[in-house]
Amino acid sequence: MNNFKIKKTSIRWVVALKEEAQIILEHFKLKAVNEKTIYPIYKNEQETHWLIISGIGRSNAAASTAYLYSFSKASKYTSWVNLGIAGSDKGNYGELYLVDKISSYQGKKSTYPSTIPKTYLPKMHLFTSDIPISDYSTYELIDMEGSAFFDIASKLTSKEFICLMKVISDGPENDIKEITKSKISNLIKENLLKIINVISYYERLSEEEFQITKKPELFYAIKSKWHFTAAQSFKLEFLLRRIEVYCNNRDLEEKIKSCKTSHSVIDVLNSKIKKNIVNWSKF
């Protein structure tokens, strides 16, 4: 794993078309990466947001999601976002919907993405098709990538870190053949504020998860001074996490500085925790 390289906020966008991505690239100041890549990839200067243009269809969505994961060294606490247009006759043209259920021809079972809590944004059931569909009556939302994106993204992180957002672009009243590049860009642009609002939730989520799962501050410093086996490293991390809650690092460094071996470091830490008596009245 590449955890040590990850930034505090970590968002990965998977978007089928450049026109769908345009306003996102502009708003988050994402620039094309300076390397030859299988799919076009963009990132911001801080490398907290990465975006891949997947192209249309399930295979592209799956392959590009996996590719972006590997290329951008995404982590377990990276949030994954699929943004795009979709067909519908149930929703309103031009409106943004969150997806909380996905079906496809291929999957026998449906899948159930989580959505941002306490939101005023409407939610819909997405059907991912391999071919453009003109009969909108059976499904709430129709796209060509969502299910494949979710299937892969949910292998990379918990489903609470995955978000699918769709803007309705076509339906019985709005012929799919009339969709143009500029219409697509405008549809996404008109929903930019809502999209930013959703993304800020996922930014917070990945940052909080980073804070919770990051190794204790002293972990690498201690490991660089003594040799720890894999089992000892695990113990060291477990003890440091607990001690850090109630003891400052300087005191701890002072306590272990005369230790000769990793074994004695663990002994010192063990005895420190053994002596700790929680004072609940402080909290």
Partner 1 sequence: MIETIYVEEAIQNHPRTKFILKKFKKSRIISIYKYGEIFNKKNQNFRIQKANPCLILAHKKDNFVLPAPEGFGIGSSKNFYFSHMYNCIYDCRYCFLQGMYSSANYVIFVNFEDFDIAIKKTIKKNINSKLTFFSGYDCDSLALESVTGFAKHILSIFRIYPQIEIEFRTKSIQKEPFLSMKPMQNVILAYSLMPELISNSLDNKAPSISKRIRVISELASKGWRIGLRFDPLIHSKNWKELYKELLEYVYNNISLNCLHSVSFGSLRFPKRMFKNIFKLYPNELLFTSPLSLNNKMISYDIEIEEEMTSYCKNLSLKYINEDQIFKCSI
Contact residues for partner 1, defined by CB under 8 A? 100-101, 109-112, 114-115, 117-118, 123, 125, 154-155, 157-161, 205, 209, 212-213, 238, 241-246, 273-281, 283
Q: Which is nearer to partner 1, 131 or 245 (CB)?
A: 245
Q: Which is nearer to partner 1, 109 or 177 (CB)?
A: 109
Q: Which is nearer to partner 1, 16 or 252 (CB)?
A: 252
- With b for 16 or more beta-carbon neighbours within 10 A and e for fewer, the 231-240 pattern comes to ebbebbbebb
Tell me the closest approach of the beta carbon of residue 62 to partner 1, in angstroms. Answer: 16
Q: Which is nearer to partner 1, 47 or 237 (CB)?
A: 237
Question: Do the strands 123-128 and 141-143 form a parallel or antiparallel pair, or are they unpaired?
Answer: parallel
Tell me the closest approach of the beta carbon of residue 103 to partner 1, in angstroms. Answer: 11
Tell me the closest approach of the beta carbon of residue 90 to partner 1, in angstroms. Answer: 14
Helix (H) or strand (E) run with residue 13 in it: strand 11-15
Q: Please give the torsion angle defined by the CA atoms of residues 93, 53, 204 and 120, in that order, rounded to the nearest 10 degrees.
A: 10
| Burial of 182 (C-beta count, 10 Å sphere; 0-12/13-18/19+) | exposed
**Euclidean distance between CA atoms 171 and 56, whole angstroms:** 19
Residue of 257, 277, 278, 279 whose CA lies nearest to 268: 257
Q: Which is nearer to partner 1, 36 or 250 (CB)?
A: 250
Tell me the closest approach of the beta carbon of residue 53 to partner 1, in angstroms. Answer: 25
Tell me the closest approach of the beta carbon of residue 115 to partner 1, in angstroms. Answer: 8
Tell me the closest approach of the beta carbon of residue 107 to partner 1, in angstroms. Answer: 11
Q: Which is nearer to partner 1, 112 or 220 (CB)?
A: 112
Q: Are 66 and 29 in contact (CB under 8 A)?
A: no
Question: Do the strands 96-104 and 162-170 form a parallel or antiparallel pair, or are they unpaired?
Answer: antiparallel
Q: Are 149 and 164 in contact (CB under 8 A)?
A: yes
